[in-house]
Amino acid sequence: MSKEFIPYEEALDLKELGYDKISRFGNESSLYDKDGEHVFYSNYGFMYSGLSDGYISAPLYQQAFRWFREKYNIDAYPQRCGQGYAYQIYVNFGTKENESIPQKGWCDTYEEAELACLRKLIEIVNIK
């Protein structure tokens, strides 16, 4: 299940962009510790043990994509293209017209396209 969560480096980038939602799965919170290790903590343990120091959220890819859609009005998704995978991004920063970001490169797997798409979203918002 670990490949469902965005990598530590991108989680740090999201935190700098203002992502502060803790991903909760039942009675557990999904976090990265200060060494970049993905960990689950019971919500009780997270709230009462002071674990917030140095810990950051470890969201799923779909949660990160939803955040970009809701906060920045950017739609993005990886997709199959012929023999490989790529991604498409639609940017609408408060205008009526969407700007389509061309597909960038080809990836061998869906997971590679997903990560490339996330990195491009981070780059777009940093430039904005």
Q: What's the confidence (pLDDT) of residue 4?
A: 87
- Domain layout of the chain by residue ranges: 2-60, 62-127
Q: Among 127, 128, 121, which Cα is nearest to 19's?
A: 121
Burial 85-109 (b: 16+ CB within 10 A, else e): bbbbbebeeeeeeeeebebeeebee
pLDDT digits (tens, 9 = 90+) for 37-89: 888 877 555 554 444 667 888 899 999 999 999 999 998 888 888 888 988 88
End-to-end alpha carbon distance in the chain: 33
As a three-state string, the secondary structure of the chain is: CHHHECCHHHHHHHHHHCCCCCEEECCEEEEECCCCCEEEEEHHHHHHCCCCCCCEECCEHHHHHHHHHHHHCEEEEEEEECCEEEEEEEECCCCCCCEEECCCCCECCHHHHHHHHHHHHHHHHHHC
Q: CA-CA distance, 108 to 20, in Å (whole number)?
A: 32
Q: What's the confidence (pLDDT) of residue 111?
A: 93
Q: What's the confidence (pLDDT) of residue 83?
A: 81
Q: What's the confidence (pLDDT) of residue 43?
A: 59
Does the pLDDT at position 125 exceed 70? yes
Both tokens of residue 15? 């935190």
